[in-house]
Amino acid sequence: MADAEQVLIVGGMTCAACVSRVEKVLKRVPGVSAAEVDLMTGQARVRYAGIVSTASLAEAIARAGYTAAAAPPPPEPFWPVGIALALSLPIAISMLVAAFGGTMLPGWLQLVLATPVLLWFGSGFVVRGWKSIRVGAPSMDALVAIGTWAAFLLSLFNLLHPMPEMAPLYFDSAALVIALVLFGRFLEGRARRQAGAALRDLARLQPARVTRIVGDTAEEIDLLALRPGETFRIRPGERVAADGVIVEGHSEQDEAALTGESLPRDKAVGDAVLAGALNLSGLLLVRAEKIGAETALGRTVRLVEAAQGRKPAVQKLADRISAVFVPVVLGIALVTLLGWMLHGASASVAIVNAVSVLVIACPCALGLATPAAIMAGTGAAARHGIVLRDPDVLATAQRIRTVVFDKTGTLTEGKPRLMACMPVAASTEDDVLRIAAALQQGSLHPLAHALLAVAPLDKAAAQMQEFPGRGVGGVVEGRHFRLGNARMLGEAGLEAGELAQAASALAHEGASVSFLFELAPQARLLGLLGFADTPRAGAAEAVAALQARGLRCVLLSGDNPASVAAMAATLGLDAAIGGVLPAEKAAHVAKLRESGPVAMVGDGINDAPALAEADLGIAMAGSADLAAETAGIVLMRPDPRLVAAALDIAARTERRIWLGLAWAFGFNMIGIPLAALGRLEPALAGAAMAFSSLAVVTNALLLRGWKPTERLNG
């Protein structure tokens, strides 16, 4: 039985060390097989076998010093930060004035201002820090608590000294560090909410109420009360409540928020509509097919949420470093304290320098770098119709050397039309169309739709049988017929004969050729059908954009090689491989991988093995569920130009991750030695620490302005 999964919102986490500790305590709960915690969203995804209660998970989180809830808490208010700053800044300003020859505040007044900051606003650091020390995994809160209280107690001792005017006071450092850390976390929280804004905007597109139509009666109900098969009404200006099919009316709809398509789309009877789309002009009646989480919008939100909750390999490395980072910093602070004292410095100087080490070494930036970039990048991509399902695709996208395209439905419209019908022997064109239509009745293949759109309707063939990658067969009027490609014709021991030249000419024009032949009572060829599929708008531009990135583009299809080669030449691809059975596609992709990482772009069930075999699978809009589940990237509209855009946003997100981590590591590599050498006052260290975290998040938020047109047009 597959593991179950539960998501909890963890409160009180402030750094990567917190993440590591929560993951450890969750993994110790009996039955839990895996736990992943995201600092940016606060989400803890727990997978378990058997029965694991929410209470047991929440209890484990509480023991580690954090809170657990089913929903995210409301945003932290600013007033605690404001009061802490209001109490701290007068002390800091007076110290600055004194440094330039002025008079600082009396010591007792500094004590009065600093005490409530430590006892009130700093109490949370003490509580959480003590809990983290008690479980053997000290956190950033422990660093702040130890550092600020050391500075405060040292100042209090000096104030009560017989000659306080000669003893330095550090009340400004103790109070201001707490105020700055609180301010930094407030800004981080706001930045986190901004990073997740795109996903929340998507989730809000689906209305909570819907007008259901029963007979001649219209009633407004909760969306959750609507059932598949029921009819609902959409007025102009309303959002579509569920995926469905129009049964009455005509309108235009804006699907930009769902697919990134900027132009409105005409909608008429029989057309599909998507939940969250904006109805612009006409009144529509729609038959509901998918509701709530099962809609395309719901699936998109789930996929992006899952991607934001997973960790790429680089973050797992950062987590391992963070798990030992705080204990190492405590050791460095102790060495700093002892080192200064052994070199003859006063206890005050030694303690202050050790405090600076504790304060500057905040691992918050280290923990925020990856999730901030992933949230911003996946959110920006989703806003433009690109779903990055797995964060590991971010690193893969930069290494791709070859992009393999399926043909039908990917680079072409997937809606071919019948362009030729050629009978032979005693057959007539009507005979060929009638029998072929009988064989294709009920088939979902694009060529079947093209045939049935023009062929006379008749009874379906009996004993229907599909031959994947070849064609179909069945019994019509007591005779066994097959309709398929040249391979199927050859397997039956027949030849194209007088139709060979026409078939070759059609294939070179890019057409797909199907032969109709009889197996019994007499094996004979009856005729051929030629189907033409047109390239999608922007297909050639998509190929050119990928080639401009230095990528090789290959067309891989089950259609006849000549047809595939003709389409590849039309669109400018570098190579074409045709006549490939579905089971063979994965093998061809594996062979192409020998020359470097490969991305596979497809849309059908038969593409799923190839998508899985490729280093990166990209599923087009309207893909079969299996193909979409296999792919690492899903495109929400059938625009092949989004392939280049998807690779671009994935690569940009990966670069932002590494830039953020480089900043976080580099900041600590420079800041800690400076603090240990006495070059940073605790208050300045606190400000620098807050700036570091804010810089990392801001670096990630730059991705929010990304637009695919920046790359689609060159």
Instruction: List, by residue number, the catalytic residues.
Output: 406
CB atoms closer than 10 angstroms to residue 401:
15
The radius of gyration computed from the CA coordinates of the chain, to the nearest angstrom, equals: 33
Q: Collapsing DSSP states into helix, strand and coil, what is residue 680? A: coil
* H-helix segments, 552-618: 561-571, 582-592, 608-613
SS3 sequence, 171-222? HHHHHHHHHHHHHHHHHHHHHHHHHCHHHHHHHCCCCCEEEEEECCEEEEEE
Peptide bond into 640 cis (omega under 30): no
Pairing of strands 417-423, 524-532: antiparallel
Residue type, 375: M
Q: Are 88 and 144 in contact (CB under 8 A)?
A: no
Among 255, 196, 204, smallest CA distance to 378 is for: 196
Can you tell me the distance from the alpha carbon of 64 to that of 142, in angstroms, rounded to the nearest whole number? 13
CB atoms closer than 10 angstroms to residue 181:
29
Q: Are 411 and 555 in contact (CB under 8 A)?
A: yes
Pairing of strands 633-635, 616-619: parallel
- Cα angle value 555/558/560 (rounded, 5°): 90
Q: Are 57 and 8 in contact (CB under 8 A)?
A: yes
Among 496, 493, 445, smallest CA distance to 467 is for: 445
255-291 core/surface letters (b: 16 or more CB in 10 A; e: else) = bbbbbbbeebbebeeeeebbbbbbbeebebbbbbebb
Q: Are 497 and 504 in contact (CB under 8 A)?
A: no
Helix 364-383 and helix 682-701: axis angle, to 10°?
20
Among 531, 291, 264, 251, smallest CA distance to 418 is for: 531
Among 397, 333, 329, smallest CA distance to 363 is for: 329
Can you tell me the distance from the alpha carbon of 44 to that of 39, in angstroms, rounded to the nearest whole number? 9
Can you tell me the distance from the alpha carbon of 624 to that of 66, in angstroms, rounded to the nearest whole number? 42
Q: Are 327 and 146 in contact (CB under 8 A)?
A: no
Q: Collapsing DSSP states into helix, strand and coil, what is residue 654? A: helix
Residues 6+ apart with CB under 8 A from 82: none
Can you tell me the distance from the alpha carbon of 310 to that of 370, in angstroms, rounded to the nearest whole number? 11
Can you tell me the distance from the alpha carbon of 171 to that of 92, in angstroms, rounded to the nearest whole number? 8
Can you tell me the distance from the alpha carbon of 588 to that of 596, in angstroms, rounded to the nearest whole number? 13
Residue labelled with tokens 């070059």? 679
Q: Are 330 and 27 in contact (CB under 8 A)?
A: no
CB hemisphere CA count around 579 (13 angstroms): 9
Which residues, in sequence order, are bridge partners of residue 44? 8, 37
CB atoms closer than 10 angstroms to residue 526:
21
